[in-house]
Amino acid sequence: MPKPDIDAIRDRLGKATPGPWEWQTDDWNGGYSGLAAGSDASVNVLYPDHCNEGDSGAAWFSEDTLSAADASLIAHAPADLAALLEYAERLEAALVAIKAMPDTNQQGLYMVGYNTALNTAWHIADRALKGESNA
């Protein structure tokens, strides 16, 4: 699988309603659930705008119920997440392979140029695998 389009994913995320998003159960009009956003879940992202009292849970949405940006984020989420997970797994495998190389400082190995590059790569991989920043 090719590298995911990080810019497109970031763009969809940036245009959508800011999170965190949270599923609210039985929170709208006497028993309908929906998706809310914000630190206090006060922003409706996706709630039914029509429902029938006494119905068997039937609710429907109009085109203004959900913003186009939120709809795009939701619609792309499965493919985006799959692509990002696969990409993360490939990067992790690469880091594990680099980490499997000897730490040239600890091994007492020395080769001009190679030593510095390998040592730098080893430490970058080590920090990344621990979840630390390499910035």
What digits encode the pLDDT tens for the residues 60-114? 666 666 888 999 999 999 999 999 999 999 888 888 888 787 665 555 555 555 5
pTM: 0.69
For residues 127, 82, 1, 72, the Cα torsion angle rounded to the nearest 10 degrees is -110
Report how far residue 101's alpha carbon sits from residue 118's, in angstroms, rounded to the nearest whole number: 8
Which sequence spans correspond to the domains of the chain?
101-135
DSSP 37-101: ESTTS-EEEE--SEE-TTSSS-EE--TTSS-HHHHHHHHHHHHHHHHHHHHHHHHHHHHHHHHTS
